[in-house]
Structure 1
Amino acid sequence: MDYNTKSAIVGGTFFSSIVNIGVEDLITTIILAVVGAIVSFFVSLLLKKFITFIGAKCRRWK
């Protein structure tokens, strides 16, 4: 498949999808992405503290 055919397929799929996406769906997607990023950030902080705590506890037993 040449470049023009690939870009036509991708462009057609993209623009036909844009028409069918409502504003409510877009807002819902944005909100879910923000919530997911915040949760991911806090989980990574908690895991970092947990691993540090476990590492310090294991060093005490040696």
Structure 2
Amino acid sequence: MSSSSMRLWNECRTGTLGGTLCSIWVSFDMGDMLHTALMAAVGTLVSVAVSRLLALKGKDRDDDPP
């Protein structure tokens, strides 16, 4: 392939990728994205809290004689 045909191929591929990304970006609703981010943050906090509580409970059990 010559340099000019390679450049044309890269420009075509870049244009196609850019158009695809723009069409996907428009389909997302910002409210839905915010809701998803908020739910992910809440899920992370709950997971950490439960893990720490279970670790403390396990530590208390190890200290008690059978």
TM-score bin (small chain): 0.5 to 0.7
Tell me by how many angstroms 1:42 deviates.
0.4
| Ranges in structure 1 where 5+ consecutive residues have no aligned partner | 1-10
Identity %: 29
**Alignment correspondent of 1:54:** 61
Tell me by how many angstroms 1:28 deviates.
0.2
| Ranges in structure 2 where 5+ consecutive residues have no aligned partner | 1-16
| Alignment root-mean-square deviation, CA | 2.2
Tell me, in whole angstroms, the C-alpha distance in 2 between the residues paired with 1:22 and 1:43.
Answer: 32
**Alignment correspondent of 1:43:** 50
- Calculate the TM-score normalised by the size of structure 2: 0.60
Tell me, in whole angstroms, the C-alpha distance in 2 between the residues paired with 1:21 and 1:44.
Answer: 33
Q: 1:47 to 1:17 in 2, by over 3 A?
A: farther
